Amino acid sequence: MKSSSKDQLEGAMHEVKGTAKEIAGKLTDNPPLVVEGSDEKIAGKVQGKIGEIKQVFGK
């Protein structure tokens, strides 16, 4: 698997996990879990964008 595709896939997985944590945190009234989920979602978006950039430059 190409490095760019791997980054995009892992980024999407982090976004899904982050969303799940945010929802779980809201349902259980756990603000730290909501923040952790939000952070993980943002990290996933960044990793996905890195994969897109690698794809453009052919890495």
Split at pLDDT 50, 70, 90, the class of 59 is low
pLDDT at 1 over 80: no
Other beta carbons within 10 angstroms of residue 44's beta carbon come to 20
For 22-51, what is the mean pLDDT? 96
How long a stretch of residues is the chain? 59
Handedness of CA 34, 39, 43, 49 (dihedral sign): positive
**Which residue type occupies 56?**
V
Segments making up each domain of the chain, as ranges: 3-57
Q: pTM to 2 decimals?
A: 0.85
